[in-house]
Structures are given as C-alpha cells and as structure tokens.
C-alpha cells in the first residue's frame, strides 16, 4: 500500500502551493532606497476568503495592506487612508525557502512602470 501524502501545516510548502494561510504572520521587509526595513503583519482578511489583511509600519507610519498569493505570486496593495491604493507589491515566493521568503518589486500608485523598487520579505513569526 502506498502512503497517502499529508497536508501537515508545518510542512515546507512549495512556492506554487502557498496560500493565504502561509502569508499570515510577521514579515521583515527590506525595501532599499525607500524607508529601508519595515514590519509587515498579516492576518486572515475578515471579508475576503483566501486573502490577508494587515498593517505595514514604515518610517513611523502605519498603513493598511490587503492581498493574496496565487500559484507562487504575491500581490499586496497598500493604502495610506484605508480607501485608495497608494502602493503595490508584486513578488514571487522564493523556491526552497519553505514559504518564508518572497522577492519582487514595490511601486507607488502614481509611479512610472520603470520606477519600481526591489524588495525582499522574510517571515519572522506567527501573528496572533
């Protein structure tokens, strides 16, 4: 008899298998040339199944963040006022990092396409 694979929540997920549950927690963000290090806290979105919502602390300010991950691609939207998108994060889950590292590009809502800034997110802990 062949063993049946399990879906252990502590298992190391492949990038394509990442979902909103894997995003929940505290992330350290490295956004060089735009505020440097920040703290991103993500939890279950209360209204959108399969999505996360949280806060980002950067340069003494707290902004709201909403997003998801699908087939290894992260999309987050920042809002300074809770209504309008002020910036976006688009990144890829890094293979062989067990869902704990994502890299991509950050840009403000009014930035030119070539004005994106590279970022790296590293998961730190589970957010309660």
Q: Give the tokens for residue 33.
A: 């040339």
Q: Give 109's contacts (C-beta < 8 A, 6+ positions apart).
A: 84, 85, 86, 87, 88
Domain ranges of the chain: 15-125
- Radius of gyration over every alpha carbon of the chain, rounded to an integer in angstroms: 15
List, in sequence order, every residue forming a beta bridge with 100; answer none if it has no partner. Answer: none
CA distance 117 to 63: 18
Cβ–Cβ under 8 Å, residues 18 and 69: yes
Tell me: domain 15-125, CATH 1.10.3720.10, correct? no
DSSP label at residue 113: G
pTM over 0.85: no
The one-digit pLDDT tens for each residue of the chain (128 residues) are: 433 333 444 578 899 999 999 999 999 988 765 566 788 999 999 999 999 999 998 778 899 999 999 999 999 999 988 889 999 999 999 998 999 999 999 998 887 767 788 999 999 965 44
């Amino acid at each position: 008899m062949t063993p049946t694979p399990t879906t252990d929540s502590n298992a190391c997920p492949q990038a394509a298998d990442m979902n909103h549950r894997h995003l929940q927690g505290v992330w350290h963000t490295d956004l060089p040339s735009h505020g440097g290090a920040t703290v991103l806290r993500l939890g279950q979105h209360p209204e959108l199944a399969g999505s996360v919502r949280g806060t980002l602390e950067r340069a003494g300010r707290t902004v709201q963040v909403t997003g998801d991950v699908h087939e290894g691609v992260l999309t987050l939207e920042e809002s300074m006022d809770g209504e309008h998108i002020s910036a976006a994060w688009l990144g890829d889950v890094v293979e062989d990092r067990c869902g704990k590292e994502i890299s991509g590009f950050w840009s403000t809502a009014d930035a030119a396409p070539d004005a994106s800034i590279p970022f790296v997110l590293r998961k730190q802990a589970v957010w309660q």
